[in-house]
Amino acid sequence: MLPNFNYVRPATLSDAVRQLTPNARVHAGGTDLLGCLRDGVFTADTLVSLSAIEELRGIRPALDGGVAIGAMTTLTTVASDSRIAERYPALSRGVTAAASPQLRNQGTIGGNICQRPRCWYYRGEFQCARKGGEKCYAAEGENQFHCVFGGEVCFYVHPSDAAPALVALEAMVRIVGPSGARSVAADAFFVLPSKDYTRETVLGPGEIVTGIVLPAQPRGTYGTYRKVRARGAWDFALAGAAVVATIAEGRVGRVRIVLSGVAPIPWRVPEAERVLVGQRLSAKSAAKAAAAAVEGAEPLAQNAYKVDMLRGAVEEALLELA
Partner 1 sequence: MGGKKDDNERRSSRGVTRRGFFTAVGAGAVGAAAIGRAQAPGEAAIATAGEPAKVALRINGRAYRLLVEPRWTLLFVLRERLGLSGAKAGCERGECGTCTVLIDGVPRYACTTLAVEAEGHEITTLEGLMNGDKLGPVQQAFLEEDALQCGYCTPGQIMAAEGLLRANPRPTLDEIRTGMSGNLCRCGAYTHIFKAVQKASELKKAGGR
Residues that bind ligand FAD (CB under 6 A): 25-33, 35, 71, 75, 98-99, 103, 106-108, 110-112, 114-116, 159-162, 203, 208-209, 234, 236
Nearest Cα neighbor of 153 from 133, 139, 140 is: 139
3-class SS at 289?
A: helix
Position closest to ligand FAD via CB: 111
| Identity of the residue, 313 or 319, whose beta carbon is nearer to ligand FAD in the bound complex | 313
Residue 20 · residue 205 · CB < 8 Å: yes
Binding partner of 25, given partner 1, ligand FAD, none, CB within 5-8 angstroms per partner class:
ligand FAD
- Who contacts 56 (Cβ-Cβ below 8 Å, separation ≥6)? 13, 50, 70, 71, 72, 73, 110, 210, 211
Binding partner of 105, given partner 1, ligand FAD, none, CB within 5-8 angstroms per partner class: partner 1
The answer to the question of residue 55 lying near partner 1 (CB under 8 A) is no
- 243 vs 259: CA distance, rounded Å: 9
Concatenating the DSSP letter of every residue in 129-191 gives: GGGTSS--GGGTS--TTS-SSS-TT-------SSHHHHHHTT-EEEEEETTEEEEEEHHHHB-
Query: Which of ligand FAD, partner 1, none interacts with 7 (beta carbon under 5 to 8 A by kind)?
Result: partner 1
Query: Strand, helix or coil at 213?
Result: strand
Residue 10: CB minimum distance to partner 1, A: 4
Burial tier of 85 (Cβ tally within 10 Å: 0-12, 13-18, 19+): middle
> 38 or 274: whose CB is closer to partner 1?
38
Calpha distance 29→154 (Å, rounded):
27
Dihedral sign from CA coordinates of 31, 37, 43, 44: positive
Distance, in Å, from the CA atom of 86 to the CA atom of 75, rounded to the nearest integer, reads 16
Q: Is 2 in the site for partner 1 (CB under 8 A)?
A: yes
Tell me the closest approach of the beta carbon of residue 108 to ligand FAD, in angstroms.
3
131 forms part of the interface with partner 1 (CB under 8 A)? no
When CB distances are held under 5 to 8 angstroms depending on the partner's kind, the choice from ligand FAD, partner 1, none that residue 161 binds is ligand FAD
User: Which entry of ligand FAD, partner 1, none binds 110, CB below 5 to 8 A by partner kind?
Assistant: ligand FAD
Looking only at the bridges linking them, the beta strands covering 208-214 and 67-70 are antiparallel
Residue 103: exposed, middle, or buried by beta-carbon count in 10 A (0-12, 13-18, 19+)? middle
Which residue from 85, 106, 182, 202 is in contact with partner 1, where contact means CB under 8 A? 106
Binding partner selected for residue 102 from partner 1, ligand FAD, none, CB under the kind-specific 5 to 8 Å limit:
partner 1
- The binder of 45, among partner 1, ligand FAD, none, by C-beta within 5 to 8 A per type, is partner 1
Among 15, 152, 170, 271, binds partner 1 (CB under 8 A): 15
Could you tell me the smallest distance in angstroms from the CB atom of residue 311 to partner 1?
Answer: 27
Q: How far apart are CA 227 and CA 247, in angstroms?
A: 23
Is residue 85 involved in binding partner 1 (CB under 8 A)?
Answer: no
Q: Which of 12, 183, 194, 282 binds partner 1 (CB under 8 A)?
A: 12
Interaction site with partner 1 (CB under 8 A): 1-12, 15, 18-19, 21, 24, 27, 29-31, 34-35, 38-40, 43, 45-47, 49, 51-52, 76, 99-103, 105-106, 232-234
